[in-house]
Amino acid sequence: MGNDVSTNEIMGFLQEHMVTKGEFHETLTDYATKNDLVGFKSDIMESVDRFAKLHETLDQELVMLRSKYSRLEERLVVVEKKLEIAV
């Protein structure tokens, strides 16, 4: 009967490891609430929307710059031909 546990041993274990109702409620305040998570989700969605808009704007500007670059290249070819410069 070496595996028998006495009541005193059980009580000692419980006193060392149990949590009181007050301690449990104090611990719960450290975790996020549903409202916190909803607000966090809203913040993330706003950030993603701003990023998507920025990406869209930069993409449009890139298209415009490529077009401008192509027009400048065409003009440069015309100038080179008039000046008879071979590149």
pLDDT tens-place string over residues 37-86: 888 889 999 999 999 999 999 999 999 999 999 999 999 999 999 998 87
**DSSP alpha helices (H): ranges in the chain?**
7-17, 21-28, 34-83
Compute the distance between CA of residue 86 and CA of residue 81 in angstroms, rounded to an integer.
8
Query: Coil, strand or helix: which one is 74?
Result: helix
Report pTM.
0.50
Residues 31, 39 contacting (CB under 8 angstroms)? no
Residues 71, 78 contacting (CB under 8 angstroms)? no
The per-residue pLDDT for 2 is 58
